Amino acid sequence: MESPKQSRKLVAEGGESIVDFDNKAFKPIPQAGIDLAVKAMNAGVMYRYQPKTKEASLTAAFEHNFAKYMGLKHAVGTNSCGSAMFIALNIVGVQPGDTILTNAFTFHAVPSVIEHARAIPVLVESNREWAMDPEDLDKKATETGAKVLLMSYMRGHVPDMDAIMEVVDKHGLILIEDCAHAYATLWNGQLLGTFGEIGCFSTQSSKGLSAGEGGIFVTNDDEHAARAVLYAGSYERLWMKHYDLDADLMDRLQNQVPGYSMRMQEVTAAMLTPQIDRLATIKQIHVENWNLLHSLIHDHPNIEIPMPLAQVDPFCDTMQFHLVGLSRDVADRFIDLMKEEGIPMQIFGARRNARDYRQWEYVKAHQDELKDTIANIEFACDLSMQPHLTQDNIRVMGQVILDVLAYIAEQSGQ
């Protein structure tokens, strides 16, 4: 008797897909968050400063609880992670024309924030595991004299943080961490988002905390927090509806800092409020599923899955792997067939992907220089693994990946 793998015909051959799940479906809001959001909407209390006190504010409570979760003094809710990063660049004194060190491999929102500040991105190479290369960071810091590093943990990939921090200290860099993809991720037991002066998180739908849109600015610095509250859009004495701010400092800064109207709203905070407690459970699901899929596909000759450094405790909500030994056309065919089979994927370095720095036409420098990053994204597949997936779903994903690779090998002769 043939095995299911041998007897199944791909959709491309007129068969039926065995995929009955959506691997990219985003996490639902917990019922407690829905109830809080409905209550706020029914009461017409959606603006974060409508509650009469900080104790009555969902946003203030969420900020306070997230700061506590991170082990930091301050968190400030914003309307996006991009806003949190833009505020961070303003706080550390970035001026138009300044050079900002950042990742060559990241989502285009990161260089866009630098452009928003009218500064100039200096793109730093990635390694084979898609994290920032400390040696190239040292080189670029020396060449440019840049004083700010906006470092992204794209797709949760973590560089050698000890080496990165050595470069930060050597050049006196101000480190701002983009942790949009790095919830509950640790280096040697320390949470990412706590290494630099400022950490920035996203609450966009695909992220560890999910509310459609939103961001979180975190810091241990009292003045950074004060300025973030004001930049986000606190005016008059509305800052009194925040926790843990210094009143004298706020009074001094009140009219010195412009307000950019980048506040988080009460409905967003309502959706997020119960989600901090579920992060550990979601992470456990992600790690178990990632490990299972790795065990199923890692030894295929056309797949290379670089492993994180031993010091990293990752969140694992996506998997990336390199397609090796395939032509561009065959790799693109693999992506097309995976979509037909019901498991959409993308290749970072193909088809005008927004994570390919060569598509950022507003970034003028380094367009042809980043040979390592080009090599590391050219055949890098990106697979979403949301926490609703069961281990049986993961086994199906693994089977489909192997079946499609076998099919294209037969069809192409590769």
Grouping H, G, I as helix, E, B as strand and the rest as coil, residue 135 is helix
Per-residue confidence (pLDDT) for residue 4, from 0 to 100: 40
> Which residues have C-beta within 8 Å of that of residue 291, sequence separation ≥ 6?
none
Instruction: Give the per-residue pLDDT at 366.
Output: 57
Residues with Cβ within 8 Å of 410's Cβ and at least 6 positions away in sequence, in order, are none
Q: Is 301 exposed, middle or buried (0-12, 13-18, 19+ CB in 10 A)?
A: exposed
Q: Give the confidence band of 6 by pLDDT, cuts at 50, 70, 90.
A: very low
- Examine the pLDDT at 235 and tell me if it is beyond 90: yes
Distance CA 360, CA 338 (A): 27
Rounded to whole angstroms, the Cα distance separating 154 from 399 reads: 27
**pLDDT at residue 245 tops 90:** yes
Q: What percentage of the chain has pLDDT greater than the value 70?
A: 97
Nearest to 85 by CA among 57, 67, 62, 107: 107
pLDDT confidence band for 344 (50 / 70 / 90) = very high
Range 85-98 average pLDDT: 98
Arithmetic mean of pLDDT, 387-404: 98
Instruction: Give residue 240's pLDDT band: very low, low, confident or very high (50, 70, 90).
Output: very high
Question: pLDDT, tens digit, for every residue of 8-54?
Answer: 789 988 898 999 999 999 999 999 999 999 999 999 999 999 999 99
- Of the pLDDT bands very low, low, confident and very high (cuts 50, 70, 90), residue 365 is low
Q: Which residue has the tokens 């949190």?
A: 84
- Set out the domains of the chain in order of their start, with CATH numbers: 4-13+278-412 (3.90.1150.10), 31-275 (3.40.640.10)
pLDDT in tens, 95-145: 999 999 999 999 999 999 999 999 999 999 999 999 999 999 999 999 999
A 10 A CB-CB count for 68 gives 13
Residue 396 φ then ψ, to 5°? -65, -45
For residues 377-398, one letter each, b for 16 or more C-beta atoms within 10 angstroms of the residue's C-beta and e for the rest, the string is: bbbbbbbbbbbebeeebbebbb
| Cα–Cα distance, 174 to 167 (Å, whole number) | 11
pLDDT, average across residues 355-360: 94
Can you say how many angstroms the Cα of residue 115 is from the centroid of all Cα atoms in its chain? 19
Q: How far is Cα 21 from Cα 327, in angstroms, rounded to an integer?
A: 30
pLDDT in the model for residue 368: 61
User: Which pLDDT belongs to residue 2?
Assistant: 37
Query: What is the CB neighbour count within 10 angstroms for residue 324?
Result: 12
**pLDDT class of 372 with cuts at 50, 70, 90:** very high
Please give the average per-residue pLDDT across 46-74, as a whole number: 98
Mean pLDDT of the chain: 95
The backbone torsions φ and ψ at residue 195, rounded to the nearest 5 degrees and listed phi first, read -85, -35
DSSP 200: E
Kindly give the pairing relationship between strand 148-152 and strand 174-178.
Answer: parallel
pLDDT at 202 over 50: yes
pLDDT digits (tens, 9 = 90+) for 282-317: 999 999 999 999 999 999 999 999 999 999 999 999
The confidence score (pLDDT) of residue 369 equals: 81
CA-CA distance, 36 to 31, in Å (whole number)?
9
- The three-point CA angle 253-256-260 to 5° equals 105
pLDDT attached to residue 87: 98
How far apart, in whole angstroms, are the C-alpha atoms of residue 367 and residue 257?
A: 36
pLDDT at 1: 30
The answer on pLDDT for 61 being more than 80 is: yes
